[in-house]
Chain A
Amino acid sequence: MNKVLISAGNVRGSEEILSSMDNVVTSPEAVILLHVQQLVGNSTMTAMMSYSEIETLKESIEGTEHKEALDRRAEEVLTHYKKALENRGMTNIKCVIRAGHPADEILKVAEEEKVDLIVVGCSGKSRFRKFATGCASSDLEKKSTIRVLITKSNGCGKHSHLWGRSAYAL
Chain B
Amino acid sequence: MNKILIAVDDTKGSKNVLGVFQNLVRPPQEVLLLHVQRLEGRSLMIDMLSDSELSTLKESLQGTDHKEKLDRHSEKVLNYYRKEFENSGLFNIRTIIREGIPADEILKVADEEKVDLIVVGSNGKRGLNRLITGCVSYEVERNASVPVIVEKPETREVVHGIKGVSPQLA
Contact = CB atoms under 8 A, between A and B. Distances in A.
Interface of A: 2, 4, 16, 20, 23-26, 28, 47-48, 50-52, 101, 103-104, 107-108, 111, 116-117, 137-139, 141-152, 156-158, 161, 165-166, 168-169
A28 B24 CA distance: 6
A158 B145 contact: yes
B73 interface: no
A-B pairs, top 5 by smallest CB distance, nearest first, are: A169-B50, A157-B145, A50-B170, A161-B143, A51-B170
Given A149-B149, A165-B47, A23 B160 contact: no
Contacts of B69: none
A141 B149 CA distance: 9
20 contacts: A24-B26, A24-B117, A47-B162, A48-B162, A52-B170, A107-B158, A117-B24, A117-B25, A138-B138, A141-B150, A143-B159, A147-B149, A148-B150, A149-B147, A149-B148, A150-B147, A150-B149, A157-B107, A161-B142, A169-B50
B50 A150 contact: no
A27 B156 CA distance: 27
B123 to A, nearest CB: 12
Given A141-B141, A145-B152, A24 B160 contact: no
Q: Which of A103, A145, A147 has the most CB of B within 10 A?
A: A147
Contacts of A28: 24
B30 interface: no
Nearest to B158: A145
Contact of B116 (A23, A47, A117): A23
B122 interface: yes
A152 B26 contact: no
Contacts of B26: 23-26
Contacts of A146: 152
B161 interface: yes
Contacts of B105: none
A143 B164 CA distance: 9
B156 to A, nearest CB: 5
Given A152-B145, A169-B49, A108 B160 contact: yes
Nearest to B161: A104
Nearest to B135: A142
Contacts of A24: 1, 25-26, 116-117, 147, 149
Q: Which of A52, A142, A166 has the most CB of B within 10 A?
A: A142
Interface string B23-61: 111100000000000000000000111110100000000
A146 B146 CA distance: 20
Given A145-B155, A150-B148, A156-B144, 18 more contacts: A2-B24, A4-B24, A20-B147, A23-B26, A47-B162, A50-B165, A51-B170, A104-B162, A107-B160, A111-B158, A138-B141, A141-B141, A147-B150, A152-B146, A158-B145, A165-B47, A168-B48, A169-B53
Contacts of B101: 165
Contacts of B170: 50-52
A97 to B, nearest CB: 19
